[in-house]
Structure 1
Amino acid sequence: MYAPCSADRLDGELLDVTGWVAAELIEGALLVTDRGLYGPGGRAFYAPAEGDPAGPFLWHGDTP
């Protein structure tokens, strides 16, 4: 199963959520990306839109 990323850094990318448990689908994920504020090796935090764990996953900020 794939969930689309939306808003900012990874807009339009598909996130492979195959095998994720319900808690992971609700909490979201830190995705390693070179397109974020911190460059290569930085992470962008994406979490699903409220009430829709199947996506889209929305951008919530970057972290080193």
Structure 2
Amino acid sequence: MNGDEQLLNGRVYGADHDDPHPGPLPHRTYAALVGGPLDGLLLDIHGWRAEDIDDGVALPTELGQFPGGRSLYDPRPDEPRTPGQGVSCRLYYSGDTP
């Protein structure tokens, strides 16, 4: 099993905690969250434009430095993206905001 397949066995950000199958769906596109409080989760980016991903994301979480705040994740400009289904890119933790 390659690294992307192992990531696909992970949990999707925003899935209900008591969902018996919180993992990714085979027909969707995901970004792997790397570092910070959401490390190892997958973010569903299916249908996002490249510009949306380039802007990074601020994800609500109770796990960051500011409970009820947001954790910031950004792409690395030199890292390629794989078009299509599965894990297409990685977003890296860059800090927290209230």
TM-score by length of 2: 0.59
User: Which residue type is aligned with residue 70 of structure 2?
Assistant: R
Structure 1 counterpart of 2:93, from 47, 50, 59: 59
TM-score by length of 1: 0.87
Aligned residue for 1:9, secondary structure, equals: coil
User: Which residue type is aligned with residue 46 of structure 2?
Assistant: T
CA contact (8 A) 1:49 1:55 kept: no
User: Could you tell me how far apart the structure 2 residues matched to 1:46 and 1:55 are?
Assistant: 12
Matched pairs, number? 63
- Tell me the alpha carbon deviations over residues 6-26 of structure 1, each in whole angstroms, 9 at most, x when there is no partner: 012111000111111111111
Residue number in structure 1 paired with 2:74: 47
The answer to whether structure 1 residue 24 and structure 2 residue 52 are counterparts is yes
Root mean square deviation of aligned Cα: 1.3
More strand by share: 1
Residue number in structure 1 paired with 2:24: none
**Where has structure 1 moved over 4 Å in runs of 4 or more?**
none
Which runs of 5 or more residues in structure 2 are unaligned?
Answer: 1-28, 82-87
Larger Rg: 1 or 2?
2
Residue 55 of structure 1 and its aligned partner are, at CA, apart by 2.0
Percent of pairs identical after alignment? 38
Which runs of 5 or more residues in structure 1 are unaligned?
Answer: none
Residue number in structure 2 paired with 1:33: 61
Q: Which has the higher contact order (CA 8 A, sep 6+)?
A: 1
